[in-house]
Amino acid sequence: MGRTTRRRATGALTAIAIVLGGGLSACSDDDDSKKGSSASSGTAASGSTAPSNGPANDLQAQYQQVVRNVLPSVVQITTTTGLGSGVVYDDKGNIVTNAHVVGQATSFEVTLPNASKPVTAKLVAAFAPDDLAVIRLDNPPNDLKPARFGDSSKLQVGQITMAMGNPLGLDSSVTEGIVSAIGRTVSEPQAADSPGATISSAIQTSAAINPGNSGGALVDLDSRVIGIPTLAATDPENNGAAPGIGFAIPANTVKSITDQIIKNGKVDNSGKAALGVTVRTVAGPNGRPAGVGVVSVQDGGAAKAAGIAPGDVITAIDDQEVPDVAALSEALGGKQPGDKVKVSLIRAGDGDKTTVEVTLGELKS
């Protein structure tokens, strides 16, 4: 499984920007998109017109059909502190989005495509570890159009993708790219409205993901949603957006979590490994992160069964150093429930260093 690091989230919601990561580079991305669209329409530099049929025009027609098929299923979600995107999941009015889009809100205004005014919605439940949430329209219209979700396990690098959402508040916007990689593990820094999720098996795409795209649709050319855009990469050198590097939660994860929330109001089968501890980052003598301090241990959890106690400091998982909470989340993100891992510890009180074997549990709501 691939692993990416140094991802940064835009934690606070604003009137025009709530997607995790991304900068104000939408104009350049949109300009490139328009140039690509113009080129594919067959207009040559000399002003001569290309034949009306051919591969370029076939592909353009396919793009346009995908937009017509999927865009009616992509909505804008507005809270008191910001806005984002969502995807109509069924005809009962359930809409799936990111947990960081809903933030701390429990009620929302949802703008449906081509609607004259927004409709109200309520939170069903959020599952922060996967950065997913479901909201439900109070009065779903009869013409609500649910999206079709694909099988993300069948994705191949190089597949054409389209990202649909409301970047910078520009409703019903579309960008295009390819599947750049699959199986990434990416982490979102924790903030007031960001759950700090670690997303395993994330889809990396070159389709532009800008503020406001969060919770929208990443779509293939068969008009199927293959992922939910959630995170854009940042360049650690200038702390700005890294163009062409965005991430989406795979559709199979979205379907599994969403189905459980709709049916039970919670998630019991996440497929995510859990250590069963509440933790915080501990600083060393130099003031830098030096490990993860155990604040509390869950009764019946994996850590307690292995003898890990409050006050212990976790320094590594299977020889992978974990200097802070984000690193611990990434280390666990590559594991499965039931996996046996070696946890390196500095014991509370005497400061002795030891290693214990832990059989990981499963993360639940």
- Whether 238 shows a pLDDT value over 90: the answer reads no
| CA dist., res. 267 & res. 265, Å (int) | 7
The CATH number fitting domain 273-362, selected from 3.40.50.150, 1.10.8.290, 3.40.50.300, 2.30.42.10: 2.30.42.10
- CATH code of domain 1-266: 2.40.10.120
Please identify which of the residues 30, 100, 220, 270 carries the catalytic annotation: 100
Query: Is residue 319 annotated as a catalytic residue, yes or no?
Result: no
Is 222 part of the annotated catalytic residue set?
Answer: no
Q: At what angle do helices 26-40 and 55-70 cross, to 10 degrees?
A: 130
98-153 per-position pLDDT tens digit: 999 999 999 999 999 888 899 999 999 999 999 999 999 999 999 999 999 999 99
Q: Which of 85, 194, 201, 214 is catalytic?
A: 214
Percent helix, percent strand, percent coil in the chain, to nearest 5: 20, 35, 40
138 catalytic residue (yes or no): no
CATH 2.30.42.10 residue ranges in the chain?
273-362
Q: Identify which of 94, 199, 197 has the alpha carbon closest to the alpha carbon of residue 149.
A: 94
Cα separation, 322 vs 279, in Å, equals 12
Please write the tens of the pLDDT for every residue from 205-217: 999 988 888 899 9
pLDDT tens digits along 54-104: 777 889 999 999 999 999 999 999 998 889 999 999 999 999 999 999 999
Catalytic residue among 130, 131, 193, 312: 131
Residues of the chain with CATH 2.40.10.120: 1-266
Residue 234 pLDDT: 76
